[in-house]
Structure 1
């Protein structure tokens, strides 16, 4: 083993304060491709003090308006924790079957989702003080992303001397959804209205509604082993909660909106778009004809 200083990167200045991204790498010359790199060797003995994992810097005892941001090799750390790491159209998908996130190189914006039916499946977008980047084929992310994937639970990620320690615990994400009896109730909770299509499939036998305070409305139609889900939320992020990889992705214009439709085998499984400050998603299981999906997108407001 030999230690090699790979990079010192400056994170973006925010409100006049700068964060410094530093990592040291170890490379095994006997491993094909050079092997993976190891985390930062930090001289510290403390629990990581916040969810962003930034560390104050002092010079001669004087605190600076700057902090250090620990960067780690994503695959080397995530895979031993049970996550798969795959490239997906220029982004990196991290998924353990329950918890998912999609990392975009060069963008300091992260969202954690879950596929558990009893949980909401989506955090609010958050920043970790540094954007992911790639060096010699290795993707680096802030250590705080691992903490978020493990539920931001105290004690999961710690520094002990010159060692980073990660202890997994059961991940429980809070469920902000409130079950609603009527669409009007869901609209009151979310703080905005949702217009549903006037014509819906005749196979529907059950309708359920949920809402997130000042954030989202979800309506799910079920019947004959089929499901159609419609979501409307504030902001512009993808709220479909669908991290499947599909054979096709097409962009079409529906009533002046840019609608992205994804699917497989000629069927449309999910459509996402934004309109007038709101974000929308329609998903169908199994998939439907693309014309039906775009008709749904045109009708949902």
Structure 2
């Protein structure tokens, strides 16, 4: 190969005119053969390649790392009241104490939630009852536990849903204007629930 190259080069003659044109092309920045446009394209391509490689290096982290979004917590607007009468004024509808309880209450607290839901909590020695009333017909108990048993009973013309795990510890109902719920820290048979719900005014 070396000999063939030398033989070919021996037969190539560069005239003065050819030498002038070659030198002019090398020195002219506008010439497409000067190499500058090609260098610019190569530099641009190299820059693009760097960006692509950098992006590729970052992509696996973006897709594999779990993005932790803190849960949004809504704190209810609580207003503590001194009595059922004061609670009625806070929520804008009548609320009465429960006339019948399956235990002796030693402490009672009255709360208005958002000015829309009335809650009365009764505490005994070891027992607890939470009564809620609000405008509308939806379930206002705030109890989303899964129970083994559910039963519907009729009390004063209203359908009452009882929930529990053998006996029943939660009752939810509506009279068409207001929604009610009563939850206990222990279970009772359906018959006793009928008496409790019938006494609610």
User: Is the TM-score greater than 0.5?
Assistant: yes
Contact 1:221–1:227 at 8 Å: present in 2 too?
yes
1:299 is aligned to 2:196: no
Task: Give the structure with the higher percent strand.
Answer: 1
Residue in structure 1 matching 2:173, options 255, 259, 273: 273
**Residues 218 and 205 of structure 1: CA distance in aligned 2, closer, same or farther (over 3 Å):** same
Q: CA deviation at 1:269?
A: 0.8
- For 1:195-220, what per-residue CA distance to the aligned partner results, in whole angstroms no more than 9, with x for missing partners? 33323344311111101344111001
Alignment of 1:289 onto 2:186: no
User: Among 56, 63, 70, which residue is 1:169 paired with?
Assistant: 70
Matches within 5 A, 1:11-26: none
4+ runs deviating over 6 angstroms = none
Q: Which has the higher helix share?
A: 2
Alignment match of 1:229 (pick from 105, 115, 130): 130
Q: After TM superposition, list the pairs within 5 Å mapping 1:112-261 onto structure 2.
A: 167-169=68-70, 171-261=72-162
Unaligned 5+ runs, structure 1: 1-161
Partner of 2:90, secondary structure, is helix
Q: Is the 8 A contact 1:219 1:231 kept in 2?
A: yes
User: What TM-score do the two structures reach when normalised by structure 2?
Assistant: 0.62
Q: Matched residues in 1 for 2:145 and 2:75: separation?
A: 23
Structure 2 gap segments, 5+ residues each: 1-62
Alignment partner of 2:196: what SS?
Answer: helix
C-alpha contact (below 8 Å) 1:187/1:193 kept by paired residues: yes
CA distance in 2 between partners of 1:248 and 1:194 (Å): 30
Q: Which has the higher contact order (CA 8 A, sep 6+)?
A: 2
User: SS at 1:172's partner residue?
Assistant: coil
Per the normalisation by structure 1, the TM-score is: 0.43
Q: Following the alignment from structure 1 to structure 2, what is the Cα–Cα distance between the partners of residues 243 and 213?
A: 20
CA distance in 2, matches of 1:202, 1:262: 20
Q: How many residues align?
A: 139
